[in-house]
Chains A and B, each alone.
Chain A
Amino acid sequence: MLKWFLTGLVSLGMVMPAWALDSDQLFRVLAPSVWLVRTLDRDGLPLGIGSAVVVSPKQLLSNCHVLKGAKSFLLVKEDVSFKGRLEQVDLERDMCLLAVSAPDFNAPAVALGDSDKVQVGTRVVALGNPRALELTFSEGLVSRLEKSERTGLLDKIQTSAPISPGSSGGGLFDAEGRLIGITQSALIQAGSQNLNFALPINWLKDLPARSAEQLAAYYAEQAKLRK
C-alpha cells in the first residue's frame, strides 16, 4: 500500500511541471505536513522533541534517534496533538516511519522528490522544529553530496539550510516543495558554519524491507535470550 502510494507520488512529481514557488508559498504548502514529535517518559512527562514529515496518509517520516528512550510520543502542531506509534524502523539509516491512528488526523502528505537527482547548488528549504520553535523555515543550498565509500550511492545530503537540535526528522525540500531529504545532523562545533546533513528521501523506498529485516533480527535475538 505504502509502496504503491509512494510510487504514485513520485510519478506525480515527475509528470507535473516543476514550478519554483515563492518562499511564502512554499511555507504555506509545506507547513501542514511538518509536525513536532514530543517524546514522553514512563510517567508521561516530556522527554525530548524532534520533527516529522507526513509522507502518506497518517504516516510520517522522522529520525529514529528522536525516539530514544521514549515510552510513547505525540505528534503536535500548535494546540493539537495526536498519539503516535512507531510503524517501521531502520536504525542503521536513522529513518523511522511513524503512524497516527486517529481518524481526524488529516494532515496532507508532501510530494516526494528524487534524491538521486539532487545536484550541488540546488536551492532548498528546511522546515522543522529546532529547539521546539515550531515550524521554523530556513533556506540554503545543497552544498555537497556525500556518497558511501562502500556502495558509491548517495549517503548524505549536505546543506547550508540552517538546522538545530529539534530539527531532526524535519524536511529538506527543493524549490518546488518536493521532499528530498530528512534533516538529521549538523556539525556545530566552533569554527563550523552551516554544515548540516539530511538523509536521502529515496531511502524511504527501502524502509519497509529494511525495517522488517531489522525487527525480525531483534525479535529473534530476544526469543533466543528468553530460552
Chain B
Amino acid sequence: MKSFRLICLAAALAACSTMSGSEYQAPTSGALATLQIRGNALLGRTDLYSFDDQRNCAGTRLLVSSTGIPGQIKKSLKVRADEPFSLLLQSTLGSQRCTVVATMKPAVDKSYLVDIRAIGGICGMVLLDVSDPAFPKNGQSLVSRTYVQTSDWRNARCKEEDVDALLVRPVNRSGLKMSDIKDLLPPASNAAK
C-alpha cells in the first residue's frame, strides 16, 4: 500500500468525458513495473485508458476495452516505474456513464493488479500491490483503494478530497496494517485470550 499514491483528478474531467486514443505502447527498457488488468464489465462499453499527460488529462492511450457482452477483462502490460501513471476508467450503458480517474506511482519491478468493475450499479477500480508478500492471503487481497462511483452512473465526478471518504474495503476494510496501530496492540502474551 505504501507503494501507492492514489489521487483523483478533479480538473479537466470534462475534457476526458469523450475519449478516443491510440493503443498504449508499452515501454521495453528502463525501470519498469507490471500492471495486471482484470475485471468484469456488463453490457455496454468499458474502456480503460492511460494518459501521456496525466496532469492535463491529455494524450489518452487505450489499455483495454470491453464492448457488448458481459465478460472478463484480462490483460497484462508493462509501465514505467517511478513515474506517475494515470488510469481512467470509463463505462457507458445507454445514456449512463461513469468515469473514474486515479493516479499511482508504480515502483520498479513491482506488480500491480488493477481490478475494474462496471457491473451491478458499481463502477470502480481497485488498485492492489500484488508484490506484497501478504497477497493473496486465503484467496483474499490487501486492498489498497477502491473508488466507487455514483450508483446511478450519472454525473460522474472525482474530487481529490473525496478519495478517502470513498474508500470501500471489501477485504481489509480498515485500510490498516498492524504496524499502523502497533503502539496500541495488546502484548503477544495476551493476544490469544
Which residues of chain A have a CB within 8 Å of any CB of chain B?
Answer: 42, 63-65, 67-73, 85-89, 91-94, 148, 150, 155, 165, 184-192, 195, 197, 199, 211-212, 214-216, 218-219
Contacts and interface: CB of A to CB of B under 8 A. Distances in A.
B174 A63 contact: yes
A64 B186 contact: no
Contacts of A64: 174, 176, 181
B185 A89 contact: yes
A185 B174 CA distance: 10
B188 A187 contact: no
Interface stretch (B29-37, B75-83, B88-96, B165-173): B165-173
B178 interface: yes
Interface centre among A67, A187, A189 (most CB of B within 10 A): A189
Interface in B148-184: 148-151, 154-159, 162, 165-178, 180-181, 183-184
Contacts of A67: 181, 184
A189 B159 contact: yes
> What is the interface of chain A mostly: helix, strand, loop, or mixed?
mixed
B183 A70 contact: yes
Contact of A72 (B154, B162, B174, B184): B184
B178 A72 contact: no
A110 B156 CA distance: 40
B176 A65 contact: yes
A166 B60 CA distance: 39
Contacts of A214: 178
A68 to B, nearest CB: 5
B15 interface: no
B165 A219 contact: no
Contacts of A216: 191-192
The 3 A-B pairs of least Cβ separation, nearest first, read: A94-B174, A215-B191, A218-B178
A49 B148 CA distance: 25
A165 to B, nearest CB: 7
Given A65-B174, A189-B166, A212-B192, A89 B157 contact: no
B188 A195 contact: no
A135 B38 CA distance: 43
A219 B188 contact: yes
Contacts of A211: 191
Contacts of B168: 185, 197
Contacts of B183: 42, 70-72
Contact of B186 (A86, A187, A190): A86
A185 B167 contact: yes
Given A86-B185, A94-B176, A215-B185, 6 more contacts: A68-B176, A91-B176, A94-B174, A188-B165, A189-B166, A212-B191
Contacts of A68: 176, 180-181
Nearest to A187: B166
A92 B171 contact: yes
